[in-house]
Each structure stands twice: as C-alpha cells, then as structure tokens.
Copies of this chain bind each other. A is one copy, B any other.
Amino acid sequence: MRISLLQLNTVVGDLAGNAEKIAAAVREAAVHRPDLVVTPELALLGYPPRDLLLMQGFVARSREVLDGLAADLAGAPPVLVGFAEPNPGRNGRPLYNAAALLRDGRVAQTFRKTLLSTYDVFDEDRYFEPARGPQILRVDGHAVGVSICEDVWNGYDVRNRRRYRTDPIEELVRSGAEAIVNISASPFTAGKQGLRERMLSRIAREHRVPIAYVNQVGGNDDLVFDGRSCAFDAGGTLVARGKGFDEDLITVDLARPGAWRIADDDFEPESEIWRALVLGTRDYARKTGFSSVHLGLSGGIDSSLVAAVAAEAMGKENVLGVLLPSPYSSRGSVEDARDLAENLGIRTVTIPISPAMDAFDGMLAEICAGHPPGVTEENLQARIRATVLMAISNTFGSLLLSTGNKSELSVGYSTIYGDMAGGLAVIADVPKGMVYRIARWLNRRSGRSVIPEQVIAKVPSAELRPGQTDQDSLPPYELLDAILHRHIDCYESADEIVAAGFPPKTVHAVLRMVRAAEFKRKQAPPGIKVTDRTFGTGWRMPIAAKEWQRRE
C-alpha cells in the first residue's frame, strides 16, 4: 500500500496552472511506483478559493480541467485530487468539498468531506454540504478510508467539548478501513505541527490504523501553509514527514512498518515564525505579480525585522529601504536604519519629509488655529511617509510592505493611511515581544548582528514628537502582550483577565483601546497569520458596538 503525498504550492484560482503542477508531480511520484498518489485539499482550485466557489462558471471550468487532468494522467497511478463537486440534489448547499479519484483516464469515484470548518478563518458551511456516511477506496487490495482535513479534527477542546456530533474516522474504521488517508490544507500557526502529530498519532493508536496526511504548502493572502505532510503506523509512530515551508514529495508504504523519511525541521517558535513570514511574503508578492518590494526604514525593531524578512523572501537586490526622516527623527535612528540596510545588502533612498510637513502646516494653519499640536501633527508625519511610499509603489510597480506589529495593531498604536499602509502587513500577527525574540534568534542564527544590537537595545519610540517613547501611551510590552494574548487568543474578557491577577486599570484601558481600534483594523492590509487568532479573516468584530463589560 504505497502512497505518494504531493505537498504542493498551488495558486488559488489557477486551474490550468494547478493541473499542470499536479500532473508534473504525479509523473515525478510515479517512479516510486505508488499504489495511490494524493494531493492536498481542493488542490485543483488552490485553498482557500473563498467566493470563487460561488461562481458556477468557476466550478464548471474546474470540472473541465479535472477531466482534462484525468485524461492526461491515463497511464499514471491512481490519483486523489481535491476539487469542488456540485451537489446533485435539489436540497442543501451547492457543493461538496471533495476528492476525485483519477484512474484509467477518468474520474472513477469521488469522496466528500464530512466535517466542515466554520470557525476562525474558515467559512466552509458557506459553500459546502457535508458528506453523509463513510467512503472507502480500494487500493492494492486494501480498504483505505478517505478523509478530508477537518474530518480528523474532532477531539475534545479545552472546555471538554467537541464541535461536531459525528466522528468520520470512527465511521471509516467501522466500515472496514485498514488505513486512513487525510487530504488537508491546514494553515500554519506556531506550534501547530506538534498538535497535528499528537492528534494523528492518537487516532492511529486508538483505531489501530496507519494514517497518511498530506498538507498544502505556500502563502495565500493571510494564510501560510507549512506542508509537513506526515504518516503514522498503526501503533501511532511517526514514520514519515515532509519538509516544512517548501514543496515536497513523500512516499510511504502503509503496509510496511518502519521509518521512511523524516525531514529535518525546527520547531522553535522563532524559527517557525520566521520561515512562515518569509514564505508568506515571497508568495504574496509572487502570486500578486510583484518582483520587488519596499518599505519605510525607521531604525526601529519592527521595520528592521520586516526588511530582513523581505531580503530573505525576495532577494536583497529586490528590496528598497526608504528612509523618511523628520525633524523628530534622532540621528541614531537614521544611522541604525543605514546599518541595517548595509547588513542586509539592500538599497536605500532617503527622502526627508519636512517639506511636506511645512506645506501641510501652512495649509492647515487657518482651520487648526487655536488647537494645540498633538495627534493631528503626529499622524500627519505618518501619512506623509505613506504618501511617499505609495508614490514609489506607483512609479516602480513595487509592493509596499507595512511594518506594524500585532501589539500595536491590537491597541491602535498606529496611523491609518500612515504606517498601516501597504499591500501586506508582514508582522501584523507577531506580538512585540516575539519581534524581539525573532530578531535575537536571527542574529544568533546568522552568527552576526544582522539586526544591529542598538536597534534591539534601544527604547521603542514612534519618534513623532521630541522625546516620545511607546511607553508614554502603552503599558510595558511584556504586560501588554500578556493581556492581549488572553483577550485575543484565549477569548477572555476583562473580568477573567483581572481574576488571573492582572492590574484592573491596565486591563480595562487595554481592552478599551482594542475595541476603539476596530475601525482601523477593518482597513488594515492582510497580515500573515502565525498565532491562533489573527486580525483579519478570522477576527470578525463589530465596529459600532458598545462596551458591555462592567467597569472596574
């Protein structure tokens, strides 16, 4: 029972391109003489296709391409290809999330997903009808149970609850499955692979069946898929694992115990997140047609880390650092930004912004007369910088990366249409504390201070007025990040966070800032998901909502 797992990086919507990629990978796999080749979930469409699925034309065209692929692979081993299958009934949602078995030049059989992910970033109930009943595939004389992604994710959660009323794996085993195949598109978050492997191992052990799990790889908007397809024997032992954050082809024989190939990997959070950011940035640029990127370099830790990610993702020659000093920029900051650029080998350009500051000051003098300088002037600087950076984008066709971190984005310590501007917010899901950890990790890994030590050491400041520091407006980042983690990732409200021992006044102040920043986040660029709960697709908060929590 040899199974080849195609860990592919498809492009959403690119039916023809994805079919070609699948065909090429199947041919490559064929030399290993597999009994079955398996692609990731919805591989023909790219995951997540989102509302493309609502267009009948897209679904119809994908079926034509699928039939073409089947014909093209007539001589190849049987292949399970993820696709969207129209629901032939008159009742229920219009599609199934399915896998087509391509054999002998045609679609010989289809298999449907039972448990539909509708939480966090997922909206599958929007499109799909759940499968009814288990589906068995005969391979090499063996009964293989075919499952799709969420079908394996129905364990008890921290509250001892299960989200679904059925367990498709149990049903497959009861129907005689001797092995389980799971075709997935499971997005990366830090630490997720451990969770996946523990869960898959437990299922294998509990049901005494081997499992082969294939995951997609690549960045699609806010989501990065980390690959790491893997297989377990019937005792729950890991026997194979594909690369992280790269395409791979893994062949295992589920009937023959023993280790196959377990790719080197590194599960340190800093390393994982770094690779996710690099792949997410590279793929966002590539899949939207950009070959170069640029960003504002302030000499601070955030833009320094984003520049380092960009250099690794795009190649240093394709990254432009833009220094936009104002009269409030310290000389140190400008030097730090130049040092960083030199360390990375990226080009820089320096455009002082005071001419525009003076122009706006004059234009606004009359209407703002009598109002003391404050947030207006601070935001003006950020928006002037964004205007320059977008002019560079328009002129050179380069992708602007924004550099705000998750802590800032949470509490709205950022300027909308200012430093929030960009096509991709690279570290928008990385809390400030983790930004520092990754910077230090990067320097250790590189054996030199790629990110200058003084950038890591200095007190964080937006430098929008003389002597400003972030802690004038925010609690210390360590405290802030801990409160935000509880509120955002763990869904805790003020009472619960206070009960855990955090200072009530700070907790309430932080949560008020989070709520007040909702309108800004609604207009934020996509950020690369690396934590359990990311602003964007998986964060759906009302803006015009009133505080419901009791005041301290």
A299 at the B interface (CB under 8 A): no
A452 at the B interface (CB under 8 A): no
Q: Is the CB of B543 within 8 A of A417?
A: no
| Per-residue interface assignment for chain A, residues 52 to 77, with 1 indicating a CB less than 8 Å from any chain B CB and 0 otherwise | 10111110011000000000000000
Q: Is the CB of A351 within 8 A of B364?
A: yes
A48 to B91, CA, bound (A): 27
Chain B residues with CB under 8 Å of A537's CB are 540
A550 to B125, CA, bound (A): 29
Q: Is the CB of B351 within 8 A of A367?
A: yes
Chain B residues with CB under 8 Å of A138's CB are none
| Per-residue interface assignment for chain A, residues 532 to 552, with 1 indicating a CB less than 8 Å from any chain B CB and 0 otherwise | 000001011111111111100
Which single residue of chain B is at the shortest CB-CB distance from A389?
B417
A63 to chain B, nearest CB (A): 12
Chain B residues with CB under 8 Å of A549's CB are 57, 61
Chain B residues with CB under 8 Å of A162's CB are 90-92
A351 to B39, CA, bound (A): 59
A524 to B462, CA, bound (A): 25
- Which residues of A266-298 are within 8 A (CB) of B? 283-284, 287-288
A362 at the B interface (CB under 8 A): yes
Q: Is the CB of A391 within 8 A of B362?
A: no
Q: Is the CB of A496 within 8 A of B125?
A: no
Q: Is the CB of A379 within 8 A of B390?
A: yes
Stretch of A10-18, A179-187, A247-255, A500-508 on the interface side: A10-18
A341 to chain B, nearest CB (A): 16
A328 at the B interface (CB under 8 A): no
| Per-residue interface assignment for chain A, residues 298 to 326, with 1 indicating a CB less than 8 Å from any chain B CB and 0 otherwise | 00000000000000000000000000000
A43 to B394, CA, bound (A): 47
A126 at the B interface (CB under 8 A): yes
A388 at the B interface (CB under 8 A): yes
A353 to B356, CA, bound (A): 11
Stretch of A142-150, A199-207, A487-495 on the interface side: A487-495
| Per-residue interface assignment for chain A, residues 107 to 128, with 1 indicating a CB less than 8 Å from any chain B CB and 0 otherwise | 0000000001011000101100
Which single residue of chain B is at the shortest CB-CB distance from A92?
B165
Q: Is the CB of A495 within 8 A of B57?
A: yes
Q: Is the CB of A542 within 8 A of B52?
A: yes
A163 at the B interface (CB under 8 A): yes
A94 at the B interface (CB under 8 A): yes
Q: Is the CB of A163 within 8 A of B92?
A: yes
A457 at the B interface (CB under 8 A): no
Q: Is the CB of A392 within 8 A of B367?
A: yes
Chain B residues with CB under 8 Å of A288's CB are 519, 543-544
Chain B residues with CB under 8 Å of A525's CB are 519, 522-523
Report which residue of A221, A356, A374, A416 has the largest number of chain B beta carbons within 10 angstroms of its beta carbon. A356
A22 at the B interface (CB under 8 A): no
Chain B residues with CB under 8 Å of A12's CB are 542, 544-546
Q: Is the CB of A362 within 8 A of B355?
A: yes
A446 at the B interface (CB under 8 A): no
A46 at the B interface (CB under 8 A): yes
Q: Is the CB of B376 within 8 A of A380?
A: no
A383 at the B interface (CB under 8 A): yes
A160 at the B interface (CB under 8 A): yes
Chain B residues with CB under 8 Å of A390's CB are 379, 383, 416-417
A375 at the B interface (CB under 8 A): yes
A263 at the B interface (CB under 8 A): no
Q: Is the CB of A356 within 8 A of B360?
A: yes
Q: Is the CB of B417 within 8 A of A388?
A: no
Known: A368-B391, A387-B383, A387-B417. A496 touches B540 (CB 8 A): no
A240 at the B interface (CB under 8 A): no
A395 at the B interface (CB under 8 A): yes
Q: Is the CB of A353 within 8 A of B363?
A: yes
- Which residues of A26-57 are within 8 A (CB) of B? 46, 48-52, 54-57
Chain B residues with CB under 8 Å of A55's CB are 491-493
Q: Is the CB of B493 within 8 A of A57?
A: yes
Chain B residues with CB under 8 Å of A163's CB are 91-93
A242 at the B interface (CB under 8 A): no
Which single residue of chain B is at the shortest CB-CB distance from A494?
B57
A353 to B363, CA, bound (A): 7
A264 at the B interface (CB under 8 A): no
A427 at the B interface (CB under 8 A): no
A353 to chain B, nearest CB (A): 7
Chain B residues with CB under 8 Å of A362's CB are 355
- With A14-B545, A55-B492 known, 12 other A-B pairs at CB within 8 A are A56-B491, A57-B492, A61-B493, A92-B162, A118-B118, A118-B125, A219-B544, A351-B364, A368-B395, A379-B394, A522-B525, A523-B525
The 4 A-B residue pairs with the shortest CB-CB distance, nearest first, are A57-B493, A287-B544, A14-B546, A13-B545
Provide a sorted-by-A list of 24 A–B residue pairs whose CB atoms are within 8 angstroms.
Answer: A12-B542, A14-B546, A14-B548, A46-B545, A49-B542, A49-B545, A54-B491, A61-B550, A90-B156, A91-B165, A92-B163, A93-B163, A118-B126, A219-B544, A288-B519, A352-B363, A358-B359, A364-B395, A367-B395, A368-B391, A368-B395, A383-B390, A519-B525, A522-B525
